[in-house]
């Protein structure tokens, strides 16, 4: 690792410790040229395997971009989108695999996006699941309606329980 102070090409590790439950390794390094110390952080890269077979590093920014596009014109703020992207990253990392197919990343987005905004969800799902007919939309909307009814039903039960 090149010294950030004098650009010397080599450095010596003086201390290593794990952080973030072993997700990261922080190394304290010392430059043999100028004697200054600096820290580096090592993190295992989570790779996303695209349908074409090409891999690219998992990017939260990319998820935010895709979700923001689906949320255009919807009452969804940036904080909620950032939180969603964080959830997606946690879900994907929790699988414990070093490489993850891109469609699994898409799947991890669908759930939280449905909770966030149903219209944005439909937009995203239509692209991601390549809806090609009105019937696909109808089926998805019916699923959303059923979920909404189930939620209302549960809410009514809770309300009834609260008053008794
Ligand atoms: Zn140096």
Predicted confidence band of residue 95 (pLDDT cuts 50, 70, 90): confident
From the CA of 5, how far away is ligand 1's center (Å)?
Answer: 5
Helix (H, G, I), strand (E, B) or coil at 97: coil
Q: What is the pLDDT of residue 18?
A: 87
**Which residues have C-beta within 8 Å of that of residue 113, sequence separation ≥ 6?**
67, 70, 84, 120, 121, 124
Q: Region 60-71: what's the mean pLDDT?
A: 94
Which pLDDT does position 154 carry in this prediction? Answer: 75
Q: Considering the chain, what percentage of its residues have pLDDT values greater than 70?
A: 93
Expressed in angstroms and rounded, the spacing between residue 106 Cα and the centre of ligand 1 is: 44
Q: Is the separation of the CB atoms in 58 and 100 below 8 Å?
A: yes
- How far apart are alpha carbons 45 and 96 in whole angstroms? 12
Task: Quick: pLDDT tens for 109-157.
Answer: 999 999 999 999 999 988 887 788 889 889 989 988 998 888 888 766 6
Cα 40 to averaged position of ligand 1 atoms, centre (Å): 14
CA–centroid distance, residue 11 to ligand 1 (Å) = 8
The encoded tokens of residue 32 equal: 């043999």
| Residues 45-51, mean pLDDT to the nearest whole number | 89
């Amino acid at each position: 690792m090149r010294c950030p102070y004098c650009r010397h090409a080599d450095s010596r590790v003086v201390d290593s410790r794990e952080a973030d439950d072993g997700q990261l390794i922080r190394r304290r390094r010392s430059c043999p040229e100028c004697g200054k110390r600096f820290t580096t952080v090592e993190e295992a890269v989570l790779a996303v395997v695209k349908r074409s077979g090409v891999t690219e590093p998992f990017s939260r920014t990319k998820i935010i971009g895709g979700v923001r596009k689906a949320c255009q014109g919807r009452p969804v703020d940036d904080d909620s989108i950032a939180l969603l992207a964080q959830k997606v990253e946690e879900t994907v990392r929790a699988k414990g695999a070093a490489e993850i197919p891109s469609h699994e990343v898409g799947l991890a987005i669908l759930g939280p996006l449905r909770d966030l905004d149903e219209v944005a969800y439909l937009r995203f799902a239509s692209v991601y699941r390549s809806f090609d007919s009105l019937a696909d939309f109808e089926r998805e909307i019916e699923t959303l309606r059923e979920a909404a009814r189930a939620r209302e039903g549960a809410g009514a039960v809770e309300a009834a329980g609260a008053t008794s």
